């Protein structure tokens, strides 16, 4: 058996999405900025995709900017707002467990002279809105807090944070890449000003995403060229990608309630079986509101990379953290932020379920985990068997 349990890293493209894109690739291939019939046909498909994306997110079509993915959407939101602010002194608030697309962008702003506060999280991996409130300053331009953490699956109280940020007259951005398909997303209900999404996390194609920019938010360019996307993001529009993103969002909206229940049952089945059969295991983020498909497990006394390889050889794909951090020598910044020791952080695996997973696959994964953990613990030096 081979089974894929790394859906937070990426997902397979849904057949319906592939079919929606196929026609654009083969028949509606014009440049959406061209005035001839081929170009206008592509333009119509682009705007249809924009309307559908806006509908699913609870936005207006003119508030959607298509990007190359979640990383670009995060960069555009943060740099586009902060650099465009006229104040000489600027300050940004984010959290200690953000995706590198946010943390590294904030680090770049620090190099440009912007002050950045990284709010800590509790032992469950949740940001306290009051901690955000205490971090605000007169020169604060933007608050950026992710909606769902990519490693733990913890759901942040974005609506509460957005309320207090709005009362202070500050712009609010949220990285929603891991939230779509796993929890309800309505940008109006959340109260955010900017919200990033990515297609390949929701059974769409790689290389396309979108940024919701609430009407009236002063977003400046971070790239230069043509006047595409209403002067917010230059470059020839990726029409097939936008169509694929919209098709994936349509499927998501159609199946969210039923699929959420199914994934929650599978995730609970997995966790309960692992905790019952394998000693010295903890669920990282336990007790926090978590999205339905993600579990992060610490197998004490086991090297996480060795366990990942053992599972891969047995036919199971899981993750030791964020895919973009693969190969990093340091333990996960998310896991150390919630208080894990470096050793326990290195002993943790993320398992993220998706549409293709079944009860049979979950049970087989539990068997493989039980055997691999027992074998690796027996081989570990005595001082590491804790």
CB atoms near residue 276 (< 10 Å): 10
Distance CA 118, CA 71 (A): 19
DSSP string over 146-170: -SB-TTT-BBP-HHHHHHHHHHTT-
Placement of tokens 């098709």 in the chain: 247
Distance CA 380, CA 306 (A): 11
Bridge partners, residue 64, by sequence: 212
Query: Smallest Cα–Cα separation from 3: which of 270, 345, 202?
Result: 270
Q: Phi/psi zone of residue 354: left (φ > 0), alpha (ψ -120 to 50 degrees), beta?
A: beta
Distance CA 58, CA 10 (A): 24
Contact 164, 133 (CB under 8 A): yes
3-state secondary structure of 313: helix
Query: Which residues, including other chains, have CB under 8 Å from residue 57's CB and lie 6 or more apart?
Result: 64, 185, 186, 187, 195, 197, 212, 249
Residue in 106, 291, 298, 324 annotated catalytic: 324
3-state secondary structure of 172: strand
324 noted as active-site residue: yes
Both tokens assigned to 373: 């953990």
Both tokens assigned to 298: 């610490």
Contact 106, 116 (CB under 8 A): yes
- The residues assigned a catalytic role are 324
């Amino acid at each position: 058996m081979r089974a894929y349990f790394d859906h937070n890293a990426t997902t397979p493209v849904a057949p319906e999405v592939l079919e929606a894109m196929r026609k654009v690739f083969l028949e509606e291939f014009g440049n959406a900025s061209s005035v001839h019939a081929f170009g206008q046909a592509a333009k119509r498909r682009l705007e249809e995709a924009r309307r559908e994306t806006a509908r699913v997110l609870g936005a207006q079509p003119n508030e959607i900017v298509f990007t190359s993915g979640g990383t670009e959407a995060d960069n555009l939101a943060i740099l586009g707002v902060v650099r465009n602010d006229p104040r000489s002194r600027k300050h940004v608030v984010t959290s200690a467990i953000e995706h590198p697309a946010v943390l590294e962008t904030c680090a770049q702003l620090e190099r440009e002279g912007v002050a950045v506060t990284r709010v800590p999280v509790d032992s469950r991996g949740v940001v306290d809105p009051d901690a955000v409130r205490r971090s605000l300053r007169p020169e604060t331009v933007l608050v950026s807090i992710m909606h769902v953490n990519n490693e733990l699956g913890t759901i942040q109280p974005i609506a509460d944070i957005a309320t207090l940020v709005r009362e202070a007259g500050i712009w609010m951005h949220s990285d929603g890449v891991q939230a779509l398909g796993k929890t309800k997303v309505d940008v109006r209900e959340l109260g955010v000003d900017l919200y990033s999404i990515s297609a390949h996390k929701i059974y769409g194609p790689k290389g396309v995403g979108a940024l919701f920019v609430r009407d009236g938010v002063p977003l400046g360019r971070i790239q230069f060229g043509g006047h595409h996307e209403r002067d917010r993001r230059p470059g020839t529009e990726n029409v097939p990608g936008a169509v694929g993103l919209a098709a994936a969002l349509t499927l998501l909206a159609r199946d969210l309630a039923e699929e959420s229940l199914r994934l929650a049952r599978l995730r609970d089945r997995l966790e309960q079986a692992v905790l019952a059969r394998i000693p010295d295991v903890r669920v990282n983020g336990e007790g926090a509101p978590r999205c339905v498909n993600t579990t992060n497990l610490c197998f004490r006394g086991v090297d996480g990379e060795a366990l990942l390889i053992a599972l891969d050889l047995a036919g199971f794909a899981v993750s030791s953290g964020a895919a973009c951090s693969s190969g990093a020598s340091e333990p996960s910044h998310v896991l150390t932020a919630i208080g894990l020791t470096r050793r326990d952080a290195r002993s943790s695996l993320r398992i993220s379920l998706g549409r293709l997973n079944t009860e049979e696959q979950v049970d087989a994964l539990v068997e493989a985990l039980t055997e691999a953990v027992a074998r690796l613990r027996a081989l570990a030096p005595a001082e590491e068997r804790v």
